[in-house]
Amino acid sequence: MKFNTLASPTFGWLKMNGGELLDLPAMERLSPAIELPEGVRVEKLNGVRVREMRTGGGEEFGQALAAAKLPVLICTVPAGQRIAERDALRLSFKLPDEGEEYDPKGRIALKSAKTVDAPAQAGKFAEVELNLEAGSSLTAVMDYRSEEDAKGLAGVQTRITIGEGAKLTLVQIVRPGSGYTFLNDVGAVCAKDAELRVIHLVLSGKHVYQGFSSAMEGDRSQVAVDVGYVGEDHARYDLNYESIHTGKKTGAEIHGKGILRGHAKKVFRDSIDLRKGCSGSEGNETEDVLLMDETVENRSLPIILCSEDDVVGNHGATIGRLDEDLLFYMESRGMQKDDVYEMMAKARIDAIVRKIPDAKTRHDLLELDDEEEREER
């Protein structure tokens, strides 16, 4: 199965045109715990989709989900209904420990240096649709987590429709166990004057495939994405973000901040596609990666595609270690080099966490960081 395939492939030898994994095994239902604010309608339909759309992960994952005919969780905010930020819709996905890893490449290395075929255990999957009708607003928090050492395979596809003048803030927190393979696939379609704000945090997991695609079909629609990730040990992250501009005077901001340490590997693709007819539109994309160890592997691919004259597109990436002048300054104030790196790494993720409008989620994540820091001390 192909996942996170680039719309405009680059040189094949770079091995950045998309992720690949084994065809998925049997799909079983993954159901969230729901905290439902007043004014939001929820229904579950077996294998019925309100709307098909492009998602960041690509067609093949969507086809596999459709064939499995899993129940679709549909959350709708009626026209003109504005839900306060403190009353967020919260979907908490508890990922079970399956006791064995799923290897997306098809082979598992044993301590004896032998290999065996990957297990064919069923994975846990879910489909979610968020539909905001004209003039409505909502904050939605989707949390994917398991026990720290849990193993298994899971995935969620989220399809978003934002009506005219509607506003959605979507927070997704990916923190499965150290032996988990997780697929997070998101697609959005924005109507005239619609606003979509996305905050993505990838905090753990063995293999994480995450794709996001936004289609700004309506004039003056706006999308802003903040991505934060922490790759440790032997984590493998494959991340793909794209904004497709077809409406006039649309805007997109895609910004990533990450930390890699140990033997972690990561691919980050971010594409701005300015199509014919989107005059007056603007797209900006940046990534800032802090490399904590010499043994990490980072690949970043910022792309701008343009077939319209009256547009603005900017992209860039900053990758490496901390500035020597900053290190010298901090060390001259009595801090050790390793402590400076840890402080700066935590600050990058905390800066994104503090943008989460839902106070409960924001405080839970910041308190978790403080607890971990106290345990290390």
Stated pTM of the model: 0.90
Full pLDDT tens readout for the chain, 377 residues: 899 988 888 877 777 888 888 888 889 999 999 999 999 999 988 767 777 899 999 999 999 999 999 999 999 999 999 999 889 999 999 999 988 888 887 644 444 444 545 455 689 999 999 999 999 999 999 999 999 999 999 999 999 999 999 999 999 999 999 999 999 999 999 999 999 999 999 999 999 999 999 999 999 999 999 999 999 999 999 999 999 999 999 999 999 999 999 999 999 999 999 999 999 999 999 999 989 888 999 999 999 999 999 999 998 877 776 666 766 667 777 777 677 677 777 888 999 999 999 999 999 998 765 555 444 44
Residues 6+ apart with CB under 8 A from 18: 2, 3, 4, 5, 6, 58, 240
Distance linking the first and last C-alpha atoms of the chain: 44
Check residue 360 and give its pLDDT.
Answer: 92
> Contact 220/196 with Cβ under 8 angstroms?
no
Check residue 117 and give its pLDDT.
Answer: 53
Closest C-alpha among 131, 157, 144 to residue 211? 157
- Please report which helix (H) or strand (E) contains residue 344, including its range: helix 337-353
Closest C-alpha among 151, 141, 140 to residue 103? 151
Residues 6+ apart with CB under 8 A from 349: 201, 203, 228, 230, 257, 259, 369
Closest C-alpha among 333, 40, 310, 64 to residue 185? 64
Radius of gyration of the chain (CA): 20
- Strands 107-109 and 115-117 come out as antiparallel
Q: Which tokens sit at 284? A: 């900006």
- Please report which helix (H) or strand (E) contains residue 68, including its range: helix 59-68
- Please report which helix (H) or strand (E) contains residue 282, including its range: strand 282-291
What secondary structure, in 3-state letters, does 82-149 show? ECCHHHCEEEEEECCCCCCCCCCCCEEECCCCCEEECCCCCEEEEEEEEEECCCCEEEEEEEEECCCC
Check residue 374 and give its pLDDT.
Answer: 46
Q: Is the dihedral of CA 58, 62, 64, 67 positive or negative?
A: negative
Check residue 113 and give its pLDDT.
Answer: 45
- Residue ranges of domains in the chain: 2-322
Please give the Cα distance from 213 to 78 (Å, whole number): 24
